[in-house]
Amino acid sequence: MPYTKDARRLYYQTVGKGTPIIFIAPPAMGHLTFHYQTLLKNDYRIITFDNRGDCRSTCPDHSMTFDDLVDDVNRIMEANDIQKAIICGYSNGGLIAQKFTITYPEKVIGLMLIGGYYAPKNILLRIEYHFGIWIAKKKSIPLLAKALSFNHFRDKKVAERMESEIKRTNPFLLKQQYQLGLDVSNEDLLHVIKVPLLLIYGANDKYVHDYQYYFRNQISEVDVAYVHRSKHQVPTKYFHECNAIIKEWTTRKGLLPLRYAKNIT
């Protein structure tokens, strides 16, 4: 199984060839969040991973900062000999994706956010974060695993696989990850993002729709796509539409096909 080669071992998977896309999951959910995005492997190099403490990834010192989560994306790129990539974050993973783009602008050729927001400012988002913190404090990881997996996947076998993976998650680190996401804001730094941004929203995921207006105000090149009938679970329950949007946008923006390995300048 592929892990980064240091004490904080991050589990990752990579399939396909072409333009690299690094997918960043929400807390606890891990690499299987993007099970269906691996269908893009004929045109892209798809890299998925577990955040530190989630699923198969470890963190021996049991502590983290938000910058650690950002730097972990860089470690995944280095482990895969990738110099530049498209970065895609789903939900809270989008906060990490934005901060990575701000911190490592030379390594990002495009940014995609699924259900994205620059800070959990509205009350419904904040309630979700507080619920995650409460679950982690209670060490109710099996309950969280079942809820997340079966809420995201219609396919029972895939849901069971994700449930099994999430059960490996460290509750102490999960609490920290939720708290870090609750406290972070990229609001004042979005203007430094110079790469194209794609926002993918479920048409019925209305409580995050308003975030798009500030993204549009701060970033010069923004596209927004809505997935009909979908709520928040766009990459899992509406993966055909999600993947088609990714393919169309990256092609239109001239990001496909490309090769971005360390030995290519």
pLDDT digits (tens, 9 = 90+) for 59-100: 888 889 999 999 999 999 999 999 999 999 999 999 999 999
DSSP state at residue 58: -
Q: Which of 39-53, 84-98, 204-218, 248-262 has the lowest mean pLDDT?
A: 248-262
What lies within 8 Å, CB to CB, of 184 at 6+ separation is 66, 95, 99, 119
Burial class (CB in 10 A: 0-12, 13-18, 19+), 7: exposed
Predicted local distance difference test score (pLDDT) of residue 265: 31
- Strand residues in 173-252 grouped as ranges (E): 197-202, 222-227
pLDDT band with cut points at 50, 70 and 90 for residue 264: very low
What is the count of structural domains for the chain?
1
pLDDT band with cut points at 50, 70 and 90 for residue 245: very high
Is the CB of residue 57 less than 8 Å from the CB of residue 120?
no
Predicted local distance difference test score (pLDDT) of residue 80: 96
Burial class (CB in 10 A: 0-12, 13-18, 19+), 229: exposed
Q: Is residue 160 part of a domain?
A: no
Predicted local distance difference test score (pLDDT) of residue 101: 98
Report cis status (omega within 30 of 0) of the bond before 105. Answer: no
Say if pTM beats, i.e. exceeds, 0.75: yes
Q: Is residue 163 part of a domain?
A: no
Predicted local distance difference test score (pLDDT) of residue 60: 84
Which pairing describes strands 12-15 and 44-49: parallel, antiparallel, or unpaired? antiparallel
Q: Is residue 108 part of a domain?
A: yes
Q: Is residue 170 part of a domain?
A: no
Predicted local distance difference test score (pLDDT) of residue 62: 83
Torsion sign (Cα): 143, 206, 247, 44: negative
d(CA 253, CA 88): 15
Is the CB of residue 137 less than 8 Å from the CB of residue 179?
no
Query: What digits encode the pLDDT tens for the residues 3-20?
Result: 998 878 999 999 999 999
Average pLDDT, the chain: 95
Q: Is residue 30 part of a domain?
A: yes
Query: What digits encode the pLDDT tens for the residues 145-197?
Result: 999 999 999 999 999 999 999 999 999 999 999 999 999 999 999 999 999 99
Residue with tokens 């482990």: 79
Q: Is residue 168 part of a domain?
A: no
Residue 261 pLDDT more than 50? no
Domain span at 110 = 12-121+186-252
pLDDT band with cut points at 50, 70 and 90 for residue 103: very high
Q: Is residue 156 part of a domain?
A: no
- The structure tokens listed for 40 are 């893009």
What lies within 8 Å, CB to CB, of 206 at 6+ separation is none
Predicted local distance difference test score (pLDDT) of residue 7: 77
User: What CATH number did the domain enclosing 59 receive?
Assistant: 3.40.50.1820
Q: Is residue 259 part of a domain?
A: no
- The structure tokens listed for 142 are 């099996």
Predicted local distance difference test score (pLDDT) of residue 50: 98
